[in-house]
Amino acid sequence: HSLRNIDELCASIVRSHRETSQYRLEELQALRWKVFSREEIQVYQSKTVDEMWQHCAVRLTEAVQYVVEFAKHIPGFRMLSQNDQIALLKTGSMEVVLVRMCRFFNTENNTVFFDGKFAGTEVFKSLACGDLIAAVFDFAHGLCALKLTEQQLALFSALVLINPDRPSLEDRVRVQRVHRSVEVGLTHILHRDNHDSLLHKLYQRMAVLRSLCSLHMEKLRWFSQRYPLTAHSLFPPLYKELFA
Ligand SMILES: CCS(=O)(=O)c1ccc(CC(=O)Nc2nc(-c3ccccc3)c(C(=O)c3ccccc3CC(C)C)s2)cc1
């Protein structure tokens, strides 16, 4: 790995992250105190379980579509086979959405940017999966505490996505090679930022991420069994393709 290659790899991943975030950090910062009124919260809480799940699935699918775009611009990712790209996105896209949440989570009032304003956990009450929402908020809190820069977040997102341990990969060795180059990039960035201790903490967060995503899949299975019509006909196709 010549230093030039590593710098080029980092630059392209950071550029891809910036171009595939629906909102710039400044925009989210400017909206931080725009929270839902009691009446608006009441409207969310009076939705039925399947209406609220459908509403979240649409939002999540939109966030996942941007993650797919992010992946496509990562140099090593494009070189992988179609099947391996899908296999990595199937399990990794939700994890990257959760990692990106540290951009749109306000730790001061425990709210997340959702539907144009910042929402507390009470907004998601009608989802009937308080444990998933509490776990997602806790995870976002923990990640925000690491105060990642956009560059560190971009490299960490790529590292989470290009995971050679995913099931049903055809060319695991090739994924390992790309994973290692991204890891060298992240280590390089953290060293340059004089924050070497962060890598170990980020690996600990990755373990929490996996359990959070399996909790999400478990809830999705519960939901699809209880509301088969909504899950099969009204969920966005990409959501079904990736999560069902
Ligand atoms: C990510 C790029 S960005 O420009 O920063 C950006 C761009 C756009 C937005 C707006 C946005 O889509 N916010 C969403 N919030 C949540 C959410 C909802 C419940 C709690 C915590 C966050 C969404 C979800 O549906 C979600 C996300 C992760 C895990 C679980 C869920 C809900 C489950 C039940 C499907 S989508 C925010 C930020």
Whole-angstrom distance, CA of residue 94 vs CA of residue 213: 7
The ipTM, to two decimals, is 0.93
Report residue 1's pLDDT band, with 50, 70 and 90 as the boundaries: low
Of 54-58, 96-100, 136-140, 184-188, the range with the lowest mean pLDDT is 54-58
Tell me, using a 6 A CB cutoff, whether residue 24 lines ligand 1.
no
Tell me, using a 6 A CB cutoff, whether residue 17 lines ligand 1.
no
Separation of CA 100 and ligand 1 centre (Å): 9
Computed over every residue of the chain, the mean pLDDT equals: 92
**What pLDDT, on a 0 to 100 scale, did the predictor assign at position 244?**
66
Whole-angstrom distance, CA of residue 228 vs CA of residue 225: 5
pTM (predicted TM-score): 0.93
Tell me the mean pLDDT in the region 96-115: 96
Residue with tokens 């790899």: 9
The pLDDT tens digits of the residues spanning 119-139 come to 999 999 999 999 999 999 999
The atom of ligand 1 lying closest to the CA of 133 is: 20
**What pLDDT, on a 0 to 100 scale, did the predictor assign at position 241?**
74
The pLDDT tens digits of the residues spanning 186-244 come to 999 999 999 999 999 999 999 899 999 899 888 888 888 888 888 777 777 777 777 66
**What pLDDT, on a 0 to 100 scale, did the predictor assign at position 217?**
85
Single out the residue of 186, 220, 214 nearest to residue 201, CA to CA. 186
Whole-angstrom distance, CA of residue 209 vs CA of residue 232: 26
Q: Ligand 1 pocket test: which of 96, 101, 221 has the largest number of ligand atoms within 8 Å of its C-beta?
A: 101
| Tokens of residue 238, six digits | 């990409």
The atom of ligand 1 lying closest to the CA of 23 is: 4
From the centroid of its chain, how far is CA 86? 16
Whole-angstrom distance, CA of residue 123 vs CA of residue 36: 9
**What pLDDT, on a 0 to 100 scale, did the predictor assign at position 21?**
95
